[in-house]
Structure 1
Amino acid sequence: MTTFTDQKNAITHLDGALYDNANLRIGIAVGRFNGFLVESLVEGALDALLRHGVQGKNITIVRVPGAFELPLTAKRLATSGKFDAIVVLGAIIRGATPHFDIVASESAKGLSKVALDHDIPVINGILTTENIEQTIERAGTKAGNKGFEAAMTAIEMASVLKAI
C-alpha cells in the first residue's frame, strides 16, 4: 500500500499494494461449465497469486456447475469470514437463445450484491463472449489471461480496503 499526504493540499492518497501478501486469504469460485477454457483462467489466477506472495495454504478453490451458481457460492465464501477477497471465474459463451443474456446479467448482479452486502472484494472474472475463439483469446492467448488479471485485482482491492 502506498500512503502519502500532499502537504500543500492536505490530500491523503491510498493505493493498493501488490506485495506483502503472505497472509492474504483468497477464495476462488469456479464455474465448471466450459471447463476446458475455464481451467486456463484458474491457472492464470493461481499464477498471479503465488507470484505475488500469497501462500498456497491461504487459497481455497470451490468448483460449482456454472456461472449461475457462482453468486451463491461467492456469498457463502464471503459470509464464512475466512477470506480477504474472492475471485470468481467462469465462461459464458453466447448461443442461439437468450439464455446467455440472462445468465450473464444475473451472475454479474449477484456478484456485485455479494461484494456490497458483505464488504469484501468480489472480482468478476466470468468471461462473457460471443464465441469460443474470443474465450480462448481471453483465457491465455493474445488477449492475456483474465484469470490472472482478476487475481491481481483481488490482491489490490484487499490491500486498498485494509488501508481505508
Structure 2
Amino acid sequence: MNTIEGKIALGGDEKIAIIASRFNHIITDRLIEGAKDSFLRHNGDEKKLDLILVPGAYELPFALDRALALGRYNGVCTLGAIIRGGTPHFDYVSAEATKGIANTTLKYTTPVSFGVLTTDSIEQAIERAGSKAGNKGFEAMNTLIELINLYKKLV
C-alpha cells in the first residue's frame, strides 16, 4: 500500500494567514500565540504570516472567504473561542461558524485548519488555550502545515 501523508515542516516560503476572533480575546490571544509559535518552530518566516482579526466567531467564515478569494495564501488557520452561556446563543454561533468555515473550505483549493474552541465553561477554554490540555492554536497550525504538505502531494 502506498501511503500519502503530509509532514509538519515548512519550506520557509509559504504565506499563511491566521484568522481569529477578538471576542473572548483572553482565550483567543493565547491561541494566536500558540499558532504563531508552531509556524515559527516549523521553519515559517514571520514576514509571511498575516493575522486577520474579526469581531467574533460568527464572522470567521466571511473573512475566510475573502482571504481565500485573494489567492495569496498557501493556507489559513481559523481560531476562535465560543463559550456556552445561559442562552441558546452558543448553539447558533458555534453551528454557523463551523458550517460556514467547512463550506468555505470546500469552495476553494487552499488548506484550512479549524481551531475554534466550543467549550461549556471559561475553565475548559483556559485548559485548551495553553494549560492542561495543551494549546489548540498550536495544534491547529500543526494541522495546517501538514495539510499544506499533503496538498502538494495530491496535485
TM-score by length of 2: 0.97
- Is 1:114–1:122's contact at 8 Å kept on the other side of the alignment? no
Distance in 2, Cα, partners of 1:157 & 1:86: 10
Q: Distance in 2 between matches of 1:106 and 1:19?
A: 32
Q: 1:5-154 maps to which residues of 2 (within 5 A)?
A: 11-154=1-144
| Contact 1:29-1:74 within 8 A present in 2 as well | yes
Query: Is the 8 Å Cα contact of residues 33 and 66 (structure 1) preserved in structure 2?
Result: yes
Structure 2 distance, partners of 1:114, 1:21, is 26
Q: Counterpart of 1:5?
A: none
Q: CA deviation at 1:98?
A: 0.6
Question: Per chain length, whose mean CA-contact separation is higher, i.e. which structure has more relative contact order (CA < 8 Å, sep 6+)?
Answer: 2
The CA deviation at 1:84 is 1.1
Stretches of 4+ aligned residues off by more than 4 angstroms: none
The runs of 5 or more residues in structure 2 that have no matched partner are none
Distance (whole Å) between structure 2 residues aligned to residue 72 and residue 124 of structure 1 = 15
Answer 1 or 2: which has greater strand percent.
1
Checking the alignment, whether the CA contact within 8 Å between 1:89 and 1:126 is kept in structure 2 is: yes
Percent sequence identity over aligned pairs: 44
> How many residues of Structure 1 are paired with residues of Structure 2 in the alignment?
154
**Structure 1 position 37, deviation (Å):** 1.1
Q: Which letter maps to 2:91?
A: D
* Greater Rg over alpha carbons, structure: 1
Name the aligned partner's letter for residue 26 of structure 1: I
SS of 1:119's equivalent in the other structure is: coil
Query: Mean alpha-carbon deviation: is it higher for 15-24 or for 27-36?
Result: 15-24
Q: In the TM superposition, what whole-angstrom CA distance separates every residue of 1:22-63 from its partner, at most 9, and x where no partner exists? A: 011111101000001110000000000000001111110001
Q: Which amino acid aligns with 1:144?
A: G
Q: Is the 8 A contact 1:92 1:126 kept in 2?
A: yes
